[in-house]
């Protein structure tokens, strides 16, 4: 099996897709301009895809009220501190930082909608 995508039901999928495309090097690979405004966003490798959509008939999980360990997704970045600063200027909120080992940095932020996003630089990549 291969991972295709993960999905989130969010209150404003169209705005969120624009923010991630503009600020996180993601590309909209498929999008709808009518309800439910489904957008598939691929990372710069094209290997991992996030689906966001707005379906008011299904409950929205208020991720801003949940601990980031309940749910978050992570992006590999060369310079987590610079990425945090840049994303903060675009409405992200700093949450925490850990350095689990020499050369590794994990910075947790929340996007403007409260979704936890981890900026990751690992001394030894997972793959």
Query: Using one digit for the tens of pLDDT, what is the confidence trace for 108-127?
Result: 999 999 999 999 999 999 87
What's the N-to-C CA distance of the chain in angstroms? Answer: 17
Number of domains in the chain: 2
- The total number of residues written for the chain in this structure: 127
Span 48-66, mean pLDDT? 95
Q: What is the pLDDT of residues 24-56, one digit of tens each?
A: 999 999 999 999 999 999 999 999 999 999 999
Asked if residue 31 and residue 6 are part of one domain, the reply reads yes
Contact assessment for residue 105 and residue 80, using Cβ atoms and an 8 Å cutoff = yes
pLDDT of residue 127: 74
Domain that holds residue 110: 61-127
The residue among 58, 73, 99 that closes a domain is 58
pTM: 0.93
CATH of the domain at 29: 3.30.720
The whole-number average pLDDT for the span 83-109 is 97
Distance CA 48, CA 42 (A): 6
Does 52 lie in the same domain as 77? no
Do 44 and 24 share a structural domain? yes
Do 29 and 5 lie in a common domain? yes
Decide: helix, strand or coil at residue 107.
strand
Q: What is the pLDDT of the chain when averaged over all its residues? A: 96
User: In terms of domains, do 65 and 29 share one?
Assistant: no
């Amino acid at each position: 099996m291969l991972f295709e995508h993960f999905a989130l039901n969010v209150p404003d999928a169209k705005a969120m897709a624009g923010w991630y495309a503009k600020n996180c090097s993601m590309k909209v690979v498929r999008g709808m301009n009518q309800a439910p405004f489904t957008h598939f966003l691929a990372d710069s490798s094209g290997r991992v895809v996030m689906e966001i959509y707005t379906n008011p008939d299904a409950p929205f999980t208020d991720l801003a009220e949940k601990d980031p360990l309940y749910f978050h997704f992570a992006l590999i970045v060369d310079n987590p501190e610079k990425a945090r600063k840049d994303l903060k200027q675009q409405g992200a909120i700093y949450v925490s930082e850990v350095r689990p080992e020499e050369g590794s940095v994990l910075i947790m932020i929340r996007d403007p909608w409260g979704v936890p996003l981890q900026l990751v630089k690992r001394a030894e990549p997972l793959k």
